[in-house]
Amino acid sequence: MFAAIGIVILLVMVFGGFVIAGGSLGPILTALPFEMMMIGGAAIGGLVIGNTTHELKLIGGAFAKVFKGAHYTDEDHIDAIALASKLMKMMKTEGPVALESHVTEPENSAIFAEYPKLLADPAVTNLICDTLTLMVVSSGSLQTHAIEDVMDNAIKTQMHEMEEPAHAMQGLADGLPALGIVAAVLGVIKTMGSIDQPPAVLGGMIGGALVGTFLGVLLAYGFVGPMTSRVNQINAHDGQIFHSIKQVIIASLHGYPQPLVVEAARSGLPPAHRPKLTDLLDTLRGK
């Protein structure tokens, strides 16, 4: 919603201010399709050259994130803490063997069934199940620091894949002004080939060429750059769910009481999205 509003504000202010100042949109609109074809085509071509099909899909998904927002809601973060807490409580009270059916076949688990969105999310499910499977097969004999190292590595890998599209987007934003100059230079070359035309015609051609530079800068700093920042914000928000899960598991392995386990995970959430501790404890109690 805010992304769409921001785009409208940007376009109205830039082009509205130009018109109010006495400018004519005619030359811009005439040159726009051709300049966009050159700049946009070069940008897309560069992305295709520098990325695999998998990465291109991730980049497309990153642009979609700007308009869709975060993948995980505040409720999902609460559910992740609750899910991990219930599993760890089962391991503490019934032993690692009791977890086996839940972590090896989560689709058949009554506990996972309480959280269908998380169950359908491979990133969340794999982090929980892979970690707890290690405990099951080792009969709980693994050192806590070893489990923490494994989880840190898994989270780092997951975050790297989430953040990679933003790096490509930032590279695109950095390159767009230069691509705008390329389009402008081509326009100048075209103008020089018509140097025998009247000044009014040459002025229009030069103006059309400068549209390329204008578009390159506008797209870079008005669109792609801010979108990249938004994607980074969303990734930071979504990535916190993995850290919350880790905090629950590691704090439980240290033998902390459940309120402290929950607080270890809850306190890591951003203040704007952090639930009250009492509400979270009530959720775990089924209230």
What DSSP assignment string belongs to 56-90? HHHHHHHHHHHHH--SS-HHHHHHHHHHHHHHHHH
Q: How many domains does the chain contain in total?
A: 1
Its domain, for residue 287, covers 32-287
What is the reported pLDDT for 140?
A: 66
Which token pair is 48? 């295709």
Residue 25 lies in a domain: no
Residue 10 lies in a domain: no
Closest CA to 210 of 185, 236, 244, 177: 185
Q: Can you give the pTM of this predicted structure?
A: 0.87
Task: Find how far residue 245's CA is from the centre of its chain.
Answer: 19
What is the reported pLDDT for 219?
A: 96
Residue 171 lies in a domain: yes
Residue 2 lies in a domain: no
Residue 153 lies in a domain: yes
Residue 1 lies in a domain: no
Q: Which residues of the chain have pLDDT under 70?
A: 140, 286-287
